[in-house]
Amino acid sequence: MAEFIIDGGVCLRGEVMSSGNKNAALPLLACCLLTDQPMTLHNVPSIRDVHTMIELLKSLGASVEWEEPNTVHVHAASLHSCALDPILCKDIRASILLAGPLLAREGMVTLPPPGGDVIGRRRIDTHFLALKALGAEVDINGRFDLHARHLVGADIMLDEASVTGTENAIMAAVLSKGETVIRNAASEPHVQDLCRCLNMMGAQIRHIGSNTLKIRGVSKLNGVEFTVGADNIEVTSFIVLSALRGDGVWIRNASPEHLGMTRLILSRLGISFESRGPDVFVPGDQTLQVEMDLDGAIPKIDDNPWPAFPADAMSLAVVAATQVNGTVLIHEKMFESRLYFVDKLISMGARIVLCDPHRCIVQGPNRLHGELVQSPDIRAGVALVIAALCANGQSHISNVQQIDRGYERFDDKLRALGAKIERR
């Protein structure tokens, strides 16, 4: 397994360019199957999950080429298979995003169980309930076989505001007959990116950014060029790191319009940043102090569907709280295993009480020390890297290929800011 060797305590400064949003790039690649015309996607992050998705597209018969370091050309003129490779699907949860496009275009798909981060049970029921509402039949026998002679628009109430469930429903609905209404829809920036791209292709999606989408089905979609937006979770990662260890750091092309709740929540930890046009500036020498609730109670940081604080940023909030003066309750509502990485922070000197699978209490500031730890998933791995950069001494973080799944050239970007980090 690859590892990072990190010498902590170094002050970071300079600038870093944000990458394209992983969670936008994956559904955008999937939506390329909805047309037989060429598609070009710009600002696509060159990360493991994207490369796996591209291999899945190729296995179905699509032609996919990297034209530039972050530009991908996809042409699904014809498909020779609707059965997804089970080995590739084990590596990526987003494989399930191919269900909607294949069902809409070919009327069938065979989907092995999707993989991805081990952060607790991740329901996929919402996907199939939405697709069944549009007319699909689903057979389950160690895999998912979906068939639909015709997809017909429907009024769909999602049982949870699932991002990928919403995206699958959207991609199936745009080629369905009649009108579809998707209620309790997810509205994250990457869902909005998908909707805008589909509309450029000729789809008719209204109320983008709301939790009720109205879609008028069309018979055909065209190929277009589209630019993937900034990765708000990567940007948040660099904001947290820069506030803890920085002396003035710029994050370029950061899409600060999507950071409203991030600004509000991080301010409770004394972390501030400035929006300057398309960029974000994180000043150094910040006063890192927990802001108590008005009645003097210990404040709580929790996650909820967009536009609330994202679940993917909760690991970052935990590590930030270890360096802030005061006590805070972290409540991760969605995944019952995401907080289990805190034992690694505790081994580095953090004062954290894990109350139950969803809650922990963090008391800071903590003087962390270097340690040998393993990255359990993408977000926890990045939190451990931040902890190691704050720690005294040297840390070894193994299994960093997990980080590579979601962060583009993360160690290169850190070195550009002055971090002492080596990949081995």
Q: Specify the CATH number for the domain of residue 410.
A: 3.65.10.10
Q: Do residue 132 and residue 238 come from a single domain?
A: no
How confident is the model at residue 111, as a pLDDT? Answer: 87
Rounded-to-integer distance, Cα 231 and Cα 312, Å? 11
Q: Do residue 189 and residue 312 come from a single domain?
A: no
Establish whether 117 is a catalytic residue. Answer: yes
Q: Do residue 132 and residue 216 come from a single domain?
A: yes
Q: Do residue 166 and residue 251 come from a single domain?
A: no
Q: Which secondary structure element, helix H or strand E, spans residue 201, and what is its range?
A: none
How confident is the model at residue 121, as a pLDDT? Answer: 45
- Under 8 Å between Cβ of 252 and 416: no
Cα distances from 110 to residues 68, 77, 82, 151, 253, in angstroms, run 32, 20, 6, 17, 39
pLDDT digits (tens, 9 = 90+) for 89-99: 887 888 899 99
Q: Do residue 305 and residue 417 come from a single domain?
A: yes
In our burial notation (b when 16+ CB lie closer than 10 A, e otherwise), range 12-36 reads beeebebbbbbbbbbbbbbbbbbbe
Q: Which residues contact 148 (CB under 8 A, 6 or more apart)?
A: 103, 107, 108, 131, 134, 135, 136, 137
In the listed set 174, 199, 227, which residue is the last one of a domain according to the structure?
227
Encoding tokens for residue 241?
A: 């790191």
Q: Residue 125's CB: how many other CB atoms inside 10 A?
A: 11
Q: Do residue 353 and residue 264 come from a single domain?
A: yes
Rounded-to-integer distance, Cα 357 and Cα 338, Å? 8
**In tens digits, what is the pLDDT along the chain, a chain of 424 residues?**
799 999 999 999 999 999 999 999 999 999 999 999 999 999 999 999 999 999 999 999 999 999 989 999 999 999 998 888 888 888 788 889 999 999 999 999 888 877 644 444 456 889 989 999 999 998 888 788 899 889 999 999 999 999 999 999 999 999 999 999 999 999 999 999 999 999 999 999 999 999 999 999 999 999 999 999 999 999 999 999 999 999 999 999 999 999 999 999 999 999 999 999 999 999 998 999 999 988 888 999 999 999 999 999 999 999 999 999 999 999 998 877 789 899 999 999 999 999 999 999 999 999 999 999 999 989 999 999 999 999 999 999 999 999 999 999 999 999 999 999 999 9
Q: Do residue 254 and residue 170 come from a single domain?
A: no
Q: Residue 149's CB: how many other CB atoms inside 10 A?
A: 9
Helix (H, G, I), strand (E, B) or coil at 143: coil
How confident is the model at residue 1, as a pLDDT? Answer: 76
Q: Do residue 137 and residue 179 come from a single domain?
A: yes
Q: Do residue 303 and residue 219 come from a single domain?
A: no
Encoding tokens for residue 294?
A: 């008005």
Containing domain of residue 202, as a range? 22-227
pLDDT digits (tens, 9 = 90+) for 176-232: 999 999 999 999 999 999 999 999 999 999 999 999 999 999 999 999 999 999 999
In the listed set 227, 250, 275, which residue is the last one of a domain according to the structure?
227
The owner of tokens 């903590």 is 366
Query: Which of the following is catalytic: 49, 91, 117, 303?
Result: 117
Sign of CA dihedral 252, 258, 261, 264: positive
Give how many domains the chain has, as a whole number.
2
User: How many residues does this entry show for the chain?
Assistant: 424
In the listed set 227, 245, 263, which residue is the last one of a domain according to the structure?
227
From 383, 345, 389, 386, select the one nearest 366 (Cα to Cα): 345
